[in-house]
Structure 1
Amino acid sequence: MNVLPLTPPGQTPLRVLTIAGSDSGGGAGIQADMRTLALLGLHSLVAMTAVTIQNSVGVQGFHEIPLEIIAGQIDAVVTDIGVQAAKTGMLASAEIIDTVADTWERLGLTGTVPLVVDPVCASMHGDPLLHPSALGSLKERLFPLATLVTPNLDEVRLITGIDVVDPDSQRAAARALHALGPQWALVKGGHLRASSHSPDLLFDGTDFHEFDSTRIDTPHDHGAGDTLAAATAAALAHGYPMPEAVAFAKGWITECLRAAYPLGHGHGPVSPLFRLTDG
């Protein structure tokens, strides 16, 4: 696949900020974001929102980072180092979502820095990573600031009430997501397990863009959503138009799934390490 251009040694690469939780098992969250961003040649900036206790089997618990620390991390890196794109992952609570939104607006980043919102509601094992009371803040505060939202089908159901089972319901879900305020909505089809393909649908309020790939048959898909969102943010940092950025990320996650490996007693992570041997 085509990959993003690498910055020559000694020169400062483009920067992407990940606002997300830490995964102690290293498969998802900030760890997954930083792996993909590094292997795509970008410098990662980090604002940690929560520390999870998890492994390949599931999430046993998490601790939320104090609000002033979350805001301070974003402020510190944006005002000193600068950022070309950002993404969010696990935000855990309404208070954290409001803090991220307030900080984003206060720093004047809306409309100037692309923001990819991956609305993480639960782990792939079904363990909750977002308090139920926070769903309203996610839709009302963060979605209107987003350049792109990237929910999986379980998250689509929680956010819109639409159960995506076919192309018509996928389009209805994309319309409902876009109506919540983001510039673009991506309805991912990776959880359509009955299909031999993984169809994703991108919508900007007017036009639909379809992305398809053959489903990679692997149980090791931990961190897939984080990796797709991080790759999209990386492409946006390079100035790709949104459809091209999503197409790039779709190709990237497909190869990461192909390179996924077993880890522990449960689900292993998707792996961008293929890039190290990619000619």
Structure 2
Amino acid sequence: MSATPEPKHYRALFLSDIHLGTRGCQADLLLDFLKYNDAETIYLVGDIVDGWRMRRSWYWPQAHNDVVQKLLRKARKGARIVYTPGNHDEFLRDFLGTHFGGVEVQADAVHTTADGREFLIIHGDQFDVVVRHARWLAYFGDWAYVSALNLNTLVNIVRRRLGLTYWSLSSWAKLKVKNAVNFIGRFEETLSAEARRRKVDGVICGHIHHAADHSDWGIHYINTGDWVESCTAVVEHHDGTFEVIRWIDDRSAAEAPARIGRARAAA
């Protein structure tokens, strides 16, 4: 990464759907993000490690190990790290209530913001009927998703050679297919209803790889997105406000002056 962002410190940082152990994981971009962004509390909101994929084939390059070490280093330096497992790292649900290297493993959590609001922190797969009741279909969907990501990689190799920025084929398709849009809406509504049932002010979740921050269902709904397609994270500022950070967009904007300078020099 050529441009150097200003280091930032937040009250809380929320990450999910990193999928370490898969070829689609954007570990290098996540390492870049973690280098410049820190927080008092870091929530790992599920699917951090992809146990589904690793059971079928082992893939663990150095960058994936570096992500783990970077997070553990933040814990050693005083950050509180809470890990709420998802469906891809569901093996960790056998260790709820335990600590690994300073990382707390919990089924879910409640985060209190600087201005006193309470947010349910949960991955969200518990409310996905396909994951709960049709596991074979979930596995098939996972295979189809990985295939789309492989195609997405080829598309972006061509785009880079043409001097274009990163573009997510699967995210575009997700928002174009009516059933996918309806699924996202139902998921958001269901998670909002669960937050209301638990008498909290909002919910922060992951699972569907679609970052969002809104109150469309009468309660504050936030989704952290993912580090496979969109490279997004959610942060709480020290005044209690939330922000979705799209690291690919931020880095592209930061590097734009350098790219323009190189283009002018070449001309």
Same fold, TM-score > 0.5, yes or no: no
Larger Rg: 2
Q: Of the two structures, which has the highest relative contact order with CA contacts closer than 8 Å and spacing of 6 or more?
A: 2
TM-score (norm 2): 0.40
